[in-house]
Structure 1
Amino acid sequence: MAADYMRQKLTNFTETVFPTNPTQENRQHHMIRPGNELVSSLPLQIALYFNVYFFPFWLLTCVVILALKFQHLEQLFQFVIITIYIVISGTEAMRLYLGYLGNLQERVPELAGFWLLTLVLQLPLLVFLLAASGGKPTPAEIGVHIIFLIFLLSEIVVGFFALKVMSRQQVMKFHLQEFDDILNPNRDQSESSRYEPLR
C-alpha cells in the first residue's frame, strides 16, 4: 500500500517537472513492440553531451586568444584561421544536432552525416590548427584544441560502432517486416478496410 502511494506521488512529481503529451507517449508504447531492441549508444550520447557544454568554452577561448594575437599573425594566417573558426563553429552546431537526432531516434542517415562531418571536416581542421606553426598557437589554445580533439576522436570511434550496430538493426527490422507481410498478407487489406468510410 505504501509502495503504491509512493509510486503515485513520484509519478505525479515527475509529470509535473517533465510534462509529456499522453497521446504521444501512448503512441510510442505501441510503436515499440516486444522483441525490438533499442540500440542507441550510451557512450556516444555521453560524448555528445559533454561536447555540447565544452564547445562554447572552446569557441570563447579561441576568439579571445585570436583577438590578442591577431596583429602578430601574417595576413594569410589571419584569413585562414578566421575562416577555419567560422567553418568549425557553423559545422559543429549541425554536427551535434545530427548526432543527437541520429543516436536517440536511431536514424541511420543522420548518424552517418554526423560521423562523416566529424571525420572529414572537423578533424582535419582541428589538426591543422594544432599543427600549423604559422598560427602561433598559445598553450591555452593547444590545451583546448587537444580536449576538443579527444572529443572528436572518441566520437569517431564510438560513432562508427554505433552506426554499425544501428544499421544492422534497421536491416533486421526491414527483413522482419517483409517476413511479417508474407505471413499475414490479408493484414494490410483488413487494416485498410477498417478505415474506409461507411457508405
Structure 2
Amino acid sequence: MELPETLRRRLEDFSRTVLFDQSRAEPFSEDGDTFLPHDKQVLSSLQLQMSLYFNMWFFPWWWISETVMLQLKYPALSDYYKFILVTILILMTLIEAIRLYLGYAGNLHQKVPELAGFWLLSILLQFPLILFQLFNEAILIQPLERGVHIILALFILTQALSGFVALRDMVRHTESQFHLRQFN
C-alpha cells in the first residue's frame, strides 16, 4: 500500500525540517523535486584525510630522527629514562600504525567504530605520549627532536579535532537513517 502523494510530501518536509541539520547539503537532485537517498551522502572529512595522508608520510621521518636522537643521547640518560624512552618509541610506533589505519578506514569508508577507535587512540594514547616527549626536560630533548615532536603533536591535535567533527557528523547521519527507517 502506497501513501497518498500529499501525505508523502508532508512527511518528507517534516523529516527534512525536524530530523536533518539544515547546515548540511540538501538531499535533492539538481531539478529540485526528486528526493535522493539519504545514505548516498558523503560524510568523509577532507581535512582529516589530508592530515592523515601527510602524517603517513611524516611518521617515518619522525621515527628515524627519534631513533637517531635516542641513540646519541642514550649514554647520558638515567636507566629508568632509557627504559621509558625505548618503551615509548615502540608503543608509539605500534599505536601510530593502528591509528592511521583506523583513521583511513573510518573516514574513507564512513565507519563509526573505526573512526571512534582512531579518535580514542589519538586522545588517550598518542597525544599524552608526544606531550611527554615534548615537555619533559629530563629526557635531554635535542632541537631536532623538539621540531619533529611539535609537528607530530600538531598532526595529532588536528586529527583529533577534525576526527571529532567527522565522527559527530557520521553519528548524526546514522541516527537520522535510523529515524527514517522507522517511517518505512
The alignment's TM-score, normalised by the length of structure 2, stands at: 0.78
- Secondary structure at the counterpart of residue 38 of structure 1: coil
CA distance in 1, matches of 2:157, 2:134: 14
CA distance in 2, matches of 1:81, 1:108: 33
Letter aligned with residue 48 of structure 1: L
User: Which aligned pairs between 1:29-178 and structure 2 lie closer than 5 A?
Assistant: 34-35=37-38, 36-178=40-182
Render the CA deviation track for 1:38-79: whole Å, top value 9, x for unaligned. Answer: 111110000000010000110010001111111011111000
Letter aligned with residue 47 of structure 2: P
Render the CA deviation track for 1:90-122: whole Å, top value 9, x for unaligned. Answer: 000000000000001111111010000000000
CA distance in 2, matches of 1:88, 1:77: 16
Aligned twin of 2:19: none
Q: How many residues align?
A: 148
Structure 1 segments of 4 or more deviating over 4 A? none
Aligned twin of 2:4: none
CA distance in 2, matches of 1:149, 1:121: 12
Cα displacement (A) at 1:173: 1.3
Cα displacement (A) at 1:34: 3.6
For the pair shown, which has the larger CA radius of gyration, 1 or 2?
1
The alignment's TM-score, normalised by the length of structure 1, stands at: 0.72
Stretch deviating more after TM superposition (35-44 or 61-70): 35-44
CA distance in 1, matches of 2:182, 2:98: 34
Render the CA deviation track for 1:110-158: whole Å, top value 9, x for unaligned. Answer: 1010000000000000000011111101000000000000001101111
CA distance in 2, matches of 1:178, 1:93: 39
Aligned twin of 2:17: none
Letter aligned with residue 137 of structure 1: I
